[in-house]
Structure 1
Amino acid sequence: GVFLTIEKFRVLLGGQEAYWEGLAQAFHAQGFEVFQSKRSFLREEVIKLQPTVLVLEEKRELLVAIGDLLKEAPFLAVMLLTPRRDSAEFSAYYESGVRGCLPLDLSPRQIAEIVETSLKLRLSVFPLPPRRALRREMIPSLSARERQILFLVAKGFSAKEVAAKLHLTESSVKTYLKRLMKKLGAHNQT
């Protein structure tokens, strides 16, 4: 048979305002053991309470503090709540050990569910950059022919069908696809 262990997660919330009260209720409803922190004692509270996850509002000055905290508490998952959906800092947070950045415009229930899923599946959660930002960074480096092929493949056409439409050989299309995958950092065509 299969045995499942039910782990009760402990969350330490780094905020006291009304919003954080709603967040505390949402985590409690998800079955978390909930603690709230006075920010100035955060390090001591993490060491004493040993929460599974620490949820804080994103602030630039936290980056170094989080790195230091995770050296002392490697068991801790840190999730930041942020008003931004696209930020250059997300990669720096990830590299410092942050488990995820969640948009503040999510409901407290959604945040609690996402954090729980992240913990259970050991996933990191960061917003994707906007599609237009991806296009701006990637597409200009493609030739006109590469863009044509990419467009047709994205619409579901096979290499053979693309070759017929563009009056190319199938092997030429496959060569273009290999170059496209390399330029775009893709490992497969799906």
Structure 2
Amino acid sequence: MDAQEILKLYATGHRDFSHVSLVQVCLMNAKLVGINLMGAELVGADLRGVDLTEAHLNQANLNQTNLAHAAMIQACLTHADLSGADLSGANLTHADLSGADLSGAKLGGSDLRKANLSKADLTGADLRGADLSGANLKETNLSDADLTGADLGYADLTGADIEAAKIDESGLRGTMMPDGVVHA
């Protein structure tokens, strides 16, 4: 299946594209609201600026995918592989990324307000300037992640691994730290 076929079927009302192979497909700036790409192979795809609001991408392989400035509001990305993906400037407000692999991902300037990142792997991820206010980061692996300038206000980091992570104290107001202490 290629980009044109997806867009044509989507335009006719088709939404279920679960388990399709779209390796290195270019769907830049496409509007795919509510699409079901559960278990899809999107390795190396160019999805810059795509609108995936309320999309289902659970267990999808998005390794090395470019999702810069994508809208993924309330998207379901549980257990998705986003390792090495570029999500810089993406809007992931209220997205469910629980159990997702975001190791080495670029999330600088992204909006992750109230996102669920519980048990996600963010090892070595670039989260500089990201908005993680109110995010669920319980038991998340943030080791070696760069959170410089990130807003972690009122986020829950209970049980999170923050070993060797770069974190600014200024963005921690009301944050529940890994040891269960709320940062003032």
Given the two structures, how large is their TM-score scaled by the length of structure 1? 0.31
Q: Whose Rg is larger?
A: 1
Q: Which has the higher contact order (CA 8 A, sep 6+)?
A: 1
Between structures 1 and 2, the one with greater strand share: 1
Given the two structures, how large is their TM-score scaled by the length of structure 2? 0.31
